[in-house]
Amino acid sequence: MIRRLTLVFGFAAVGLTAAPAAAADLQPRTAQAYDKYADEMTRDFVARAMKNSTTARRCDGVIIARAGNGDGILNVPDGLIHHWLGLAFVQGASLKDVAQVARDYSAYPKVYKSVVSSKVLSQQGDTYRVLIRLKEDAGLTAVLDVRSAVEYRTQRDGSITATSKSEEIRQVENFGKRNESLLPVGRDSGYLWRAHTLTHFVAEKDGVFIVMETLGLSRQFPPLTGWIIEPIARRIGRKSVEGSLDEFLTAIRRSAALPAPKAACA
């Protein structure tokens, strides 16, 4: 069992949909509703993660990708909360293997398809501040600069958790062009206003078990087309969690020279 705090900061893009790119300002009551929900989910995360780690079956790969609470999308005043859960197991890996991949932020663009760039802004003990540029395509292209604080903790049972909380999310206007710029915080298309990633790692005799929950806050669906977009957003949310976990597991296997799983988890 290693003594150093070693956890992954992972981001699963939350519910970018084919909604029109109209302006949608973040309202104070919307932010307050999300903050209250995120605080509750963060406070109880360790208990949920430990329950999942003791009851879930073991399979080399992504085991579960589903809604984290309810049906994955919760209505709040003038906004939507997206909450997704992923479980995975990487056979033959150790926490050291996981840590080496997790801490190599400069390599994130090679690990995650949605990451354009990634860098550590600062580190104080077990807290990192990270800036990640994300590019998502889901019927349209959206580019976001996400600055987050990530705190690592070792639990009494030796498992490790990390809490990543966005400090600032800014939409990139005219990405890749000479007139590229950042829109004001909370005054953009409303694809993602807030984000949390909660992760838990348990070392076992034959591998590492992973629990990941993603939370995000976005604009509401357009009134006339919401019934069409909503199921699409749920599929995207679930697949983004599954895809991010699968990319992370692939990077761990490559770094630790582990064989690919013989079959996908069913």
Segment 141-169, tens digit of pLDDT: 789 999 999 998 888 888 889 899 999 99
Q: CA nearest 115: which of 136, 100, 130, 101? A: 136
Residues of the chain with pLDDT under 70: 1-23, 137-140, 222-237, 266
pLDDT given at position 138? 57
Q: What are phi and psi of 143, to 5 degrees?
A: -120, 130
Which stretches of the chain are assigned E, i.e. beta strand? 24-25, 61-67, 73-76, 79-91, 115-124, 127-137, 141-154, 160-173, 181-182, 187-188, 194-204, 207-218
189: left (phi over 0), alpha (psi -120 to 50) or beta: alpha
User: The dihedral of CA 201, 96, 208, 236: what is its sign?
Assistant: positive
- Domain ranges within the chain, ordered by starting residue: 24-227
CATH topology of domain 24-227: Alpha-D-Glucose-1,6-Bisphosphate; Chain A, domain 4 (3.30.530)
Q: CA nearest 196: which of 182, 171, 217? A: 217
pLDDT given at position 15? 39
